Amino acid sequence: MEEQFPIWQYVTEEGELVQPEIDIDEAVSRAFYQYMSRARMMDQKCVNLQRQGRIGTYVPYEGQEAAQVGSALAIEDGDWMFPTYRDHAATMTHGQSLHNLLLYWRGRLEGSVPPEGKNIFPPAVPIASQLLHATGVAWAEKKKNSDRVSIVYFGDGATSEGDFHEGLNFASVFKTPTIFLNQNNGYAISVPVEKQMNSKTIAQKGLGYDIPSLRVDGNDILAVYYETRKAVERARRGDGPTLIEAVTWRYGAHTTADDPSKYRDQRESEERRSSTDPLMRLERFMRKQGWWSDAWKEDMEAGITEEINQALKDVDRHPRSEVDQLFDNVFAKPTWTIEKQRQHHTNINEGAKS
């Protein structure tokens, strides 16, 4: 299966371009690098904020920027995005504001609201549930005779869930314009991929549903972008879904409440930072093309820092979220079970105050 599904690579770890037919220039390369830098700097800031007690448990993605940013840049305004709790690099690339991203991690409802004209669903915390949403929305768009597509993100662990198979089966039968973007970082929380499935690849799981499937180097933003764009163009033509397995690596923990050293040799993460890192790879490529400038990088990072700090200042002006909001918007009209839980919570609070 690994021979049938080779890993597509456009730029090697050393920065050598191996797919010279692609249309890439200095402006595009800089844009790719800036989007990834913005995502990484935001991620690092959020980890620090969690350690300071200024946001709740956070889900980092450092190391997976190319898989998220490259795929997000391949879709258009009006297309649909279905992220997990780890795909903020994708949502912020597609237009979600840093302000709302921070509100989300503060537990405020507004944090899940996308900008006007952007179809970004709230991050899915239940594993694989968003695949069904993405498939259903894509089917609706097809029935409306629009050319809108949906892209859905999920990890390797999600492929062991029933929703994954139901989503692929439905998408295959009805030829929905859905791009299934898997980020295979080798671990479903603490379980290595070889212990949670017997398949050699995730891409091969598309064979059972007759869905075109492929693997890409998830640390190569050019490979992710161009192969995702092909899948998007295919979906717009009405040729149905595509399953993409982006083989990548996350440096940090599953969440800030997790200790990866318990189940993973962290030395591998440090080694990857100097070899397969997505930002380092693109920098090496740009240097070889004569497009790199240290001064440009410094100015860019200064601008991103200012943007992040301003978003944080704005978020700090919001009052803290109230626990009572947990019971709102579960149903259009609250059921008796929800009201019972709300009353129970109220009773506990009143008892604590007295």
**Neighbouring-strand partners of residue 187:** 192
CB 75 within 8 A of CB 81: yes
Residue 337 to residue 353: CA distance in whole angstroms: 25
C-alpha distances in Å from residue 177, one per residue of 43, 73, 134, 174, 230: 30, 17, 9, 9, 12
CB 149 within 8 A of CB 177: yes
CB 346 within 8 A of CB 338: no
Asked whether the CA dihedral 7, 10, 14, 16 is positive or negative, the reply is positive
- Which listed residue (51, 237, 263, 287) is catalytic? 263
Q: How do strand 242-247 and strand 213-217 relate by DSSP bridges?
A: parallel
Residue 170 to residue 269: CA distance in whole angstroms: 37
263 is catalytic: yes
- Which listed residue (250, 272, 281, 284) is catalytic? 250
- Which listed residue (108, 254, 281, 284) is catalytic? 254
CB 241 within 8 A of CB 171: yes
Q: Which residues are catalytic?
A: 250, 254, 263
